[in-house]
Structure 1
Amino acid sequence: MNFVAMDFETASAQRHSAVSMALVVVRDNILVDEFYTLIKPESYFDARNTKIHGITEADVVDAPKFPEVWEQIKQFYTANQLVIAHNAPFDNGVLRETLGHYGISAPHYLSLDTVRTSRKLYPQLPNHKLNTVADALQIDLKHHHNALDDTVAAARILVTQAEQFGVDPLKQLVKVI
Structure 2
Amino acid sequence: MRPGEMAGQSPLSTLPAGPFRFIALDVETASRDSASICQIGIACVRSDNHIETFTTYVNPEQSFAPFNTELHGISAETVATAPCFPEAWGQLKPLLQLHHLVQHSGFDSKAISAACRAYRLPNADLSWSDSVKIARRAWPEFKGNGGHGLANLKRQLRLSFRHHDAGEDARAAAEVVLLAEGQLGQSFDRISGTARKAQFSLPLQQP
Alignment TM-score, normalising by the size of structure 1: 0.89
Which consecutive residues of structure 1, in runs of 5 or more, have no partner in the other structure? Answer: none
Looking at secondary structure, tell me which structure has more helix per residue: 1
Give the superposed CA RMSD.
Answer: 1.7
2:10 corresponds in structure 1 to none
User: How far apart are the structure 2 equivalents of 1:170 and 1:134?
Assistant: 20
Counterpart in 1 of 2:165?
146
2:157 corresponds to which residue? Answer: 137
Q: Which residue identity does 2:137 align to in structure 1?
A: K
1:52 maps to 71
Correspondence for 1:19: 38
CA distance in 1, matches of 2:154, 2:102: 15
Structure 2 gap ranges (5+) = 1-19, 197-207
Is this contact kept in 2: 1:134–1:157, CA < 8 A? no
AA matched with 1:139 = L
Moved over 3 A (4+): none
State the AA in 2 paired with 1:119: R
The CA distance in 2 between the partners of 1:40 and 1:128, in whole Å, is: 30
Aligned residues: 172
- The residue number in structure 2 matching 1:84 is 102
Aligned to 2:203: none
The share of aligned pairs that are identical, in percent, is 28
Q: Does 1:163 align with 2:190?
A: no
Change (3 A) 1:49 1:107: same
Equivalences for residues 79-118 of structure 1 within 5 A: 81-87=99-105, 89-118=106-135
Q: Which has more strand, going by share of residues? A: 1
Give, in whole Å, the separation in 1 of the partners of 2:183 and 2:88: 35
User: TM-score, normalized by length of structure 2?
Assistant: 0.77
